[in-house]
Chain A
Amino acid sequence: MFLINCPFCGERDQSEFSSGGEAHIVRPKQPTELSDDQWAEFLFMRKNIKGVQFERWNHSHGCRKWFNVVRDTSNDKIHSVYKMGEKPPVK
């Protein structure tokens, strides 16, 4: 339970948002050329980090926009928030 500072609406309760999981997993440019191992990596394998993690969130009960969050999963503390397409901050 924590607050998320939506870059469009400001600080709101986490329950207004939906988690989109790990950020910066790029969809393969040439899906037809992917091996089964590469598909598994893209679809299923996750870092699942205990510590600072880059992740996507959607303000699903607000502006419904996607953005990125840098959060420490060991204590739910949010380090920074940045918009889609922006460069991730250096840890």
Chain B
Amino acid sequence: MTDVLVIGGGLAGLRMAIAARKRGHEAIVLSLVPPKRSHSAAAQGGMQASLANVAKGIGDNEDVHFEDTVRGSDWGADQVVARMFVNTAPKAVRELAAWGTPWSRVRAGDHQVIINEQKVTLSERAEAHGLISQRDFGGTKKWRTCYVSDGTGHAMLFTTSDQAIRHGVEVHERTEALALIHDGERCYGAVVRNLVTGELVAYLAKATAMATGGAGRLYRVTTNAVICEGMGQALALETGVAALGNMEAVQFHPTGIFPAGILVTEGCRGDGGLLRDVDGHRFMPDYEPEKKELASRDVVSRRMEEHIRAGKGVSTRFGPHLWLDITLLGRRHIEHNLREVKEICQYFLGIDPAEKWIPVRPAQHYTMGGVRTDHTGQSPTLKGLFAAGEAACWDLHGFNRLGGNSVAETVVAGMIVGEFIADFCDKPENTVPAPLALARQFVEREREKLSLLLESPGRENPFQLLAKMQQIMTDYVGIFRQGDALLAGVAQLQDLLERSRGIGISGKSRAANPELVAAYRLRRMLKLALTIAYGAYQRTESRGAHFREDFPRRDDQDWLKRTLAVWPEEGANLPHLNYEVLDVMRMELPPGWRGYGAKNYIEHPDTPRRQQEVEARRNAMLGRDRHAVQEALMPFTDQLPASLAGRNERLDEPLEQAK
């Protein structure tokens, strides 16, 4: 029994646990692996926060970050959540700095950078010397991405993990949650399996927080770590009560190294790297004259695949690929600012990226969807269940996430949701007697399921079924989607779900047993895969990363809404889908063109009215402070925990003056 049970030991989970501890609550973190090995460590390029320290960041602020994020999301994001996020991101970077994260710093004076193949001299202000530096990333108007060389996630994770140790957060490593304990209305914790001994234990808690990251391993080619199997989303889905939001929104990163899918950071392109085809031609300006290589990830990935289809890929026996050229950045830059990239190229490709081009092709990268929560991180349908980070859908990213916004989201959501969890635990009515009988019932149910699997005479092999599922997802539910193919994918996944009931396990150990683990996870992964494929089939429009060739336009009239999936019957072979409408009349930034990608979309009938309203209000307030204007359009500050609601100081925006 504890106050807060956090499932997942990456940045979001650890930060929530720290928040709970600081407010005097007990917290236990469950982690499949030692927390410093979590996938948060793989975020290389950086974290977006509008500090506006560097010359190319001057003029940046929450407003610009907000607009970039909403445009990036293709208007799928919850705009109040986006506002809460952009207002907290600078605080999150500064908190990490105060905890010791060695953010790369601004050096005053001239320095040379590569912008659009040209050497450009930038001059950094003397007063910015020593402040946190920013680099350029896709889909952003200003240089906003704060970074620690190209090991940003690693440095953030180690800092945060050591803070968790400092605050006495207990981490139970090599444990896995198998089921959420709930009564259909409230969540009370989880049934947990020790991956070494096989022991099953019920962990009871006032608040249970899901922070298990993404589900990249549903796909064959992914940048994700092997532990990113979507188990948090699946456990929520299996409650039959909690909903998953927008699971069909899956991001493909333009530069996975080919064919392994290991990520090379967006920082390569942010720092001036180019995409080239079989002829060595730089093709992105042909498709995207405005943002070129630095359009949003969904757009760049689609353009790359489009170019490959036009026959411009480099053929290999593993299929075609394109090139990422960072040779023009120079050896010094690569060895200082892109070291991980250099190591990856050296160890996995045997090439020196300062001399040779890197073979790349888009690979699955990020799950925008997740456990649907409100702006406090709590499930609206299962009280006491919270979620944050990639596992969650409070809906910061809509249908496409901007580079640098995910690692930012982990700590920002960790801070915000952590405070709300502490509030929840503070309330006397949320202290309930331990539901021991219920817990026992859930433990027995899981024990029974494991016994059935171990004793099953079935002949299906979990590893083979897993590989089939990954192939189906990559083939039918990838970057380009199409009704018939999606339907075929759904049918094949249903067939696999059926076959998964006949899995047999050769090793009978109840303790450490990789085959058993693969078997029980596979069934959950198949449910998630079906949720994604079926949601993608039903959504007859294209929005952000969800691209339907048979419905290529964004359709705000019919589809400005969020998919909610629940799986009420254990034995079913499809989820139930419901839809939650996004209200244009409450948007600060009504739908429009993103500034890159396709320009044609079907307008929502309310959009012109809301646009006029917003413009009229802006005009009426001309000359007023930007915060006042924002407040008039879409108030959000009272939604934030009071400790995080303040404005952010910048060199050009002193705090006193901002008040």
A and B, one complex?
A: no
Interface residues of A (CB under 8 A from B): none
| B interface list, Cβ under 8 A from A | none
